[in-house]
Amino acid sequence: MDFDLDSEHVQIKDTVRKFCEKEVIPFAEEWEKNEFFPRETIRKMGELGFFASPFPEQYGGTELGFLANIIVAEELGRASLGLACCLNMQSGTCPMTLLLNGNEEQKEKFLPGIISGELLGCFAVTEPNAGTDVAGIETKAIRDGDNYILNGSKMWITHSSVFDVGICFAKTDPTQRHKGLSAFIIEKGMEGMTGMAEKDKLGVRSSDTGQIVFVDVKVPKENLIGEEGQGFKIAESALTYGRANIAGRSLGIGQAAVDAALKYANEREQFGQKIGYFQMNKQIIADMVAEIDASRLLVYRAAWLQDQKRPSANESTIAKFYASEAAVRAVIGAAKIHGAYTYSSEYPVARLYRDVMLMTAGEGTSNIQRLIIANNALGWK
């Protein structure tokens, strides 16, 4: 077993880290404070190929694989979780749905723009009354000649008010649960579709996240992905990659917490010595370092399996569950090290504290991940 990154992966990590140090970290606090969506930064990321690694060259990808994508997620999450949220829409659930399930015309029309960052993607699953229960979606898409008429609403959708192309899940047979769900491509400018960003969020304020409302929206039949009734299977196929992606972002924010705690513990002095010398602080730091290191092994394993084209759904679930929970514990540990300064914008830990809980909710809550992991261990479908 070889745990070293190869030269390509080392170069990717170095490139993304240098980009973040110049283009992201100096502005992250200001973006969050002002709820500023950094569109031009995302476009630069696309130009540098940050979204391209999982995709074939014919659609603008680099074919460097999923581990490369996770490394990008980790470095972006370390710099700004608000910005990092875009990664899933540009290289995870949205374009992966098209790659895995779309027809050739759909792939050629939309994938190059999403991968290059010229088009912003979205993945519209969650609703006000249906989050983890995907089969409980209430948005309807009723066939009417050459169109489907879409009515309903989505909530907590990344890029809700700025997206150019998205994947929307709706019931083509409202009498059914899983079997009644279908997937559609939605496009900016469709009449009757309104996207609204949620303002004054607790954290990840530089991410455009909010609601999409559909009122008699005409979606051409050509925008149906796969066949009617395949929506649940299509959603699950993409969420495996989304969970690995959010695991990478969790790893990044967890590492940011470790970095902040180590820096502060080496600077702050009390009772005539640096606070890193105190045994209880050493215990906190040791737990943080060990858990983030363990997270990295789990996350990288999930991505490696995807690169080997081996089954990875359970491993991605384990990675997402552990890395997101470990990130929460690491941020809490950093807060304990910083004490009252946790509440000061002078240090990044305040932003990390506000942001990190999203990682335990996105792409399936921790409790749902526990159920999946346990059912798989028990041999239950």
What token pair was written down for 349?
């830990």
CA distance 163 to 180: 26
Q: Give the per-residue pLDDT at 1.
A: 76
Q: What is the CATH number of domain 233-378?
A: 1.20.140.10
Mean residue pLDDT of the chain comes to 95
312, 303, 295, 116: CA torsion to nearest 10: -130
Topology adopted by domain 122-229: Butyryl-CoA Dehydrogenase, subunit A; domain 2 (2.40.110)
Does residue 101 carry a pLDDT above 80?
yes
Average pLDDT over residues 168-184: 94
pLDDT at 242: 84
**Contact in structure between 342 and 349 (CB atoms under 8 Å):** yes
Active site residue 363: yes
Least confident of 53-62, 127-136, 253-262: 127-136
Condensed to tens digits (0 to 9), the pLDDT of residues 192-239 reads: 999 999 999 999 999 999 999 999 999 999 999 999 999 999 998 888
- CATH 1.10.540.10 fits domain 7-120: yes
pLDDT value, residue 321:
97
255 pLDDT band, cuts 50/70/90, is: very high
Domain-by-domain residue ranges, the chain? 7-120, 122-229, 233-378
User: ∠ at Cα 248 (364, 109), nearest 5°?
Assistant: 80
Q: Give Cα separations from 216 to 127, 147, 162, 194, 237 (angstroms).
A: 17, 11, 20, 11, 28
pLDDT band with cut points at 50, 70 and 90 for residue 363: confident
CA distances from 371 to 254, 319, 357 (A): 24, 14, 19
pTM of the model as a whole: 0.94
